[in-house]
Amino acid sequence: MKERLVCQSIIGKNPHKERVMTVDVRATFINPLLEFTSQLVTFCVEQPPGSKLVYHTKELGVRNVGDLPITARFSIPYPFCIMKGEIALANMVSE
């Protein structure tokens, strides 16, 4: 990515902006290197009508294998949720 930044200023009583400096900025973005313990997580739960809904879990580990630190955000659609230990990070709702 390449961009040009232009710094302008109003100097003295002159009401017009004057260019102070121009700087070319170049950046390279690197894809994060993540390692997953499994490439695919599948669920199949058959539940008889009227039975109580319970959690069914599968573990998935994610590890940063790159040199740069990363921040990740995971979005899980209902009815799934992310659990850390015994704590669900999304409310399970049954109807």
Per-residue buried b or exposed e for 6-19, using 16+ beta carbons within 10 Å of the residue's own CB: eeeeeeeeeeeeee
Mean pLDDT for 16-26 is 88
pTM above 0.85, yes or no: no
Nearest to 80 by CA among 64, 50, 56, 61: 56
pLDDT score of 73: 77
pLDDT score of 95: 37
64-94: pLDDT as tens digits? 888 888 887 777 787 777 777 655 555 444 3
C-alpha dist (Å) from residue 17 to 7, 14, 71, 72, 85: 10, 8, 40, 42, 58
33-66: pLDDT as tens digits? 888 888 887 777 778 888 887 777 888 888 888 8
